[in-house]
Amino acid sequence: MPLIAPPVNVPPVINGPGPATQPSISNNGVLDGTAASGTAAQVALSVVILNWNARDYLVEALQSIVGQSWRCAVEVIVVDNASNLDDSVEMVRRDFPQAQLIAQPVNVGFSAGNNIGLRAARGRHIFFLNPDTVVHEGALDVLAEWMDAHPRAGVCGPKLLNPDGTLQKSCRAFPSFGAGLFRSTFLGRLFPNNRWTRSYLMEDFSHDREASVDWLSGAALCARREALEEVGVWDEDFFMYCEDVDLCYRMKAAGWDRVYVPQAVVTHRIGGSSDYAQGKAIRRHHASMLRFYLKHHARGPGLLLVPLAVLGIGLRALAAVAKLYWKYWKGGVPHRPRG
């Protein structure tokens, strides 16, 4: 049985060139903005957007995609993870008929939600995209064509920008025990230029050139279907966070390249899709950090360090939650932290 089951329902395709007009659906299920016809086999890129209560950001993300014309055939799949604080589902149904909508009755998490979108996708490549993003001009064509031209690339990622236009670092080295000790801890504040943190954050990398890297942010990650079939889909034991590190780690183990491609640009508002559950997000982040360590490093000498890893990650999580609540009571957090 294949890891990625073929889609049962045939979603529409946004097919360039030509403007992203209100298209018609042909009898083969292709949504076509031009006179050309298309089939599922011709879908170059499936954009999978996983949403949870991020309607206003999701509108911008979808507009940035359907408002452009694309050289390659693109389909858009929105998986809604049981949004209960806004009308995301109704908005997509009403305003974006170009997108296939999959409304989940419960929040199944980041990995499982993306796997649901993946099973519905038909593209040669799948672009997993956060809802709090804006796709810059031509970015989808760049990613799809770059992947076609580099058959050993399992995943690639675009340059990410903050809303103010500054660089958002989106590729890093795999985490090490030293990075865990110094990254966002009191030791890191005592020794801000330590080599472990600098190596993890790739501080000496300019982010303006294409390069092979260890891992790329799951906020905007383009994966080759063939590679996912080989290494496996998103690990659903990671409810949220570190699943991108895990996927890229498995890509490396299987010999697939992971490449930063700054020719494609996406703006990303960090935390836009988790603002309403920041306390829970912190706990899940640190739980995923521990899960990653236990999955990939708790063997041989690394097994001896498990108690220290548990203690260190636990203390780091407590400090992060305490800082969040302090900011809330001081008026620096707009919503009461949940979780």
C-alpha to C-alpha distance for 252 and 54, rounded to whole angstroms: 32
197 phi and psi angles, rounded to 5 deg: -65, -45
Number of other CB atoms surrounding residue 271 within 10 Å: 10
DSSP readout, 287-303?
HHHHHHHHHHT-STHHH
Predicted pLDDT at 337: 43
Cα 169 to Cα 158, 162, 203, distances in angstroms: 11, 9, 9
Q: Write down the pLDDT at residue 236.
A: 86
Q: Which two tokens stand for residue 45?
A: 């890129």
Please name which of 130, 74, 136 lies closest in space to residue 100, comparing C-alpha atoms.
74
Please give the chain's pLDDT, 339 residues, in tens.
Answer: 335 544 444 444 454 433 333 322 222 222 332 323 344 448 999 999 999 999 999 999 999 999 999 999 999 999 999 999 999 999 999 999 999 999 999 999 999 999 999 999 999 999 999 999 999 999 999 999 999 999 999 999 999 999 999 999 998 887 765 555 555 555 656 766 766 666 566 678 889 999 999 989 999 999 999 999 999 999 887 666 668 888 999 999 999 999 999 999 999 998 655 545 566 666 666 565 666 666 656 566 766 665 655 556 655 655 665 666 666 676 654 554 444
Q: Is the peptide bond before 97 cis (omega within 30 degrees of 0)?
A: no
SS3 for 281?
helix
Rounded Cα distance between 158 and 64, Å, is 15
How many Cβ atoms are within 10 Å of 61's Cβ, its own excluded? 26
Q: Which ranges constitute the DSSP H helices of 167-262?
A: 177-182, 186-190, 195-201, 225-231, 243-253
**pLDDT at site 235:** 86
What amino acid occupies position 222? C
E-strand ranges in the chain read 14-15, 24-25, 31-32, 45-51, 73-81, 100-104, 125-129, 133-135, 153-161, 167-168, 171-172, 211-212, 215-216, 220-224, 257-268
Return the bridge partners of 49, or none. 78, 129
pLDDT recorded at residue 240: 62
Token readout for 132 is 């709090």
Provide the pLDDT for residue 200.
63
Looking at this protein, which amino acid is placed at residue 35? A
Tokens of 270: 């960090």
Distance CA 114, CA 104 (A): 12
* Residue keyed to tokens 């600098």: 198
* Phi, psi (rounded to 5 degrees) for 62: -65, -40
